[in-house]
Amino acid sequence: MFDRIKSVNLDAQHPLSSGLTADSRLVRAYQGTRPDVTPVWFMRQAGRSLPEYRELRVGTRMLDACLDPAMASEITLQPVRRHGVDAGIFFSDIVVPLKLVGVDVEIVAGKGPVLGTAVRTGADVATLTTLDPAVLDSALAPIQEGVARTVAEMGATPLIGFAGAPFTLAAYLVEGGPSKDHIHARTLMHSDPEAWAALMAWTAEVTGRFLRAQVLAGASAAQLFDSWAGALPLADYTTHVAPASVAAIGHVKDLGYVERSADAAADPVEVHRSVPIVHFGVGTGELLAAMHDIGADVVGVDYRVPLDEANRRLGGGVPLQGNVDPALLAAPWPVLEAHVLDVLERGRTAPSHVLNLGHGVPPDTDPAVLSRVVELVHEASAADSAAASAASAE
């Protein structure tokens, strides 16, 4: 499916090309190599759980903060400094490219993205798709500047770029905002499949450009969030959604870099690497294999499916990310500790594992707990690696 894509090497100064992040725990784990210490980061680590974030955001609307390069960079860096995580994820929102292309959307506190007008009919889709995604080539300049600022501060710690999957963006557009069952989106999918296909092609182009801009600006990995794909049966996902997700990640699938390994007794060996791509969805236990099949390198698993079972469903050869239950972040430490260690143990069944949450950090989470989880993951995984090395040496 992807043989037709010609590789484009990233700029020589890109953190992957320069070697700054290419050998990081995160990138190696995403490539399927298990590092001695399991990397860890948290979805929604940048933001509302941190007092320094709340102080910085006073008087600034969410989308305005996302489009302020200095503010977005500082918010991204805050959890990296505080928690010692193995990656930053750029502070932004999946609707940012919709806003920049001309869609009337705002993020309402306590509710989420709200559209000025819902896209419910074929005529609505036709009107929406007159907005040209190509304007993003210049409109995304604040995002690229924010990424570049962040990368300059992070050194060898990689930054992850992200975007919403086409279905999740389409669901927001059709529903007009958040929804529990996405009934209008699913209805349009079947009542007017041509309009649905046009909508998905458009959202794939918009979100794909958003993702590519972040990688070109310095992100060392890319994550596609399909927050609402769990509302779909497998047949609908593979027929009406997966092709657009393939198109979306196609915007970064061609980006790569040359990794050079030197041997004192031999010529340097050059290996071409692609930018790692992670695909994550909520409630998508029945879709894991299909989500991997769009061309993702890593599959994120939410808290509903144990990692060893996810590994089984994926055939045992796919790097995994996840999947601590966010609800347990507020549990007594012995309960959370046991849960984190269990996730680590189950993650060992996969070729490699990046520990994360099975969804985002709840806003009332004690930041000290997140820092303690990072320490636990690093210490426990390092001890296990040392024990395994000692055993193999005997």
pLDDT, one tens digit per residue, over 343-376 is 999 999 999 999 999 999 999 999 999 999 999 9
Dist CA 266 CA 268 (whole Å): 6
Closest among 180, 179, 240 to 204, alpha carbons compared: 240
CATH number of 8-393: 3.20.20.210
109, burial (CB in 10 Å: exposed 0-12, middle 13-18, buried 19+): exposed
Q: Do 264 and 223 contact (CB within 8 A), yes or no?
A: no
Residue type, 361: V
| pLDDT recorded at residue 110 | 83
- Could you tell me the strand order of the sheet in which 266-274 lies? 8-9, 255-263, 266-274
Q: Both tokens of residue 84?
A: 């010692």
| pLDDT recorded at residue 2 | 40
Please report which residue ranges of 226-354 form alpha helices under DSSP H: 234-240, 242-253, 288-293, 307-313, 333-347
Q: Both tokens of residue 130?
A: 């007159």
| pLDDT recorded at residue 15 | 98
| pLDDT recorded at residue 109 | 85
Q: Do 209 and 137 contact (CB within 8 A), yes or no?
A: yes
Q: Both tokens of residue 211?
A: 């993702």
Annotated binding site for substrate: 44-48, 93, 172, 227, 359
| pLDDT recorded at residue 216 | 98
Give pLDDT < 50 ranges for the chain: 1-5, 264
pTM: 0.95
Strands 159-164 and 221-226 come out as parallel
* Active-site residue list: 44, 48, 57, 93, 172
Q: Where are the domains of the chain?
A: 8-393
Annotated binding site: 44-48, 93, 172, 227, 359
| pLDDT recorded at residue 390 | 73
Half-sphere exposure of 166 (CA within 13 A, CB side): 29
